[in-house]
Amino acid sequence: MANTKSAEKRWRQSLKRRLRNRAAVSTARTYVRDTLRTMRAGSPDPEKLKLAIIALDKAAEKGIIHKNNAARRKSRLMSQFAAAQAATK
């Protein structure tokens, strides 16, 4: 446990930040998962892809995930989306 008042405050702040960060990461993962489900079902939805990209960008902008991590995830997602669209045509 913290020994000083300032350490206690930092601990409380870190708990709040962790909850906020986990929510943003969870949102991004949910949108990515939804996009992948539609692609595997054979009907890739560009609107779901757009929502997933926005969620990843927001998480990267806030520093929750690294910008290169977000870029890598978006790149993989878009290449899978392009392959899924080509397969449906």
d(CA 36, CA 48): 9
The whole-angstrom separation of Cα 6 and Cα 58 is 30
Task: Tell me the domains of the chain and their CATH numbers.
Answer: 5-88 (1.20.58.110)
Query: What's the whole-model pTM score?
Result: 0.88
- What would the pLDDT profile of 31-77 be if each residue is shown by its tens digit? 999 999 999 999 999 999 999 999 999 999 999 999 999 999 999 99
List all residues 6 or more positions away from 85 whose beta carbon is below 8 Å from its beta carbon: 44
Q: Is 46 left (phi over 0), alpha (psi -120 to 50) or beta?
A: alpha
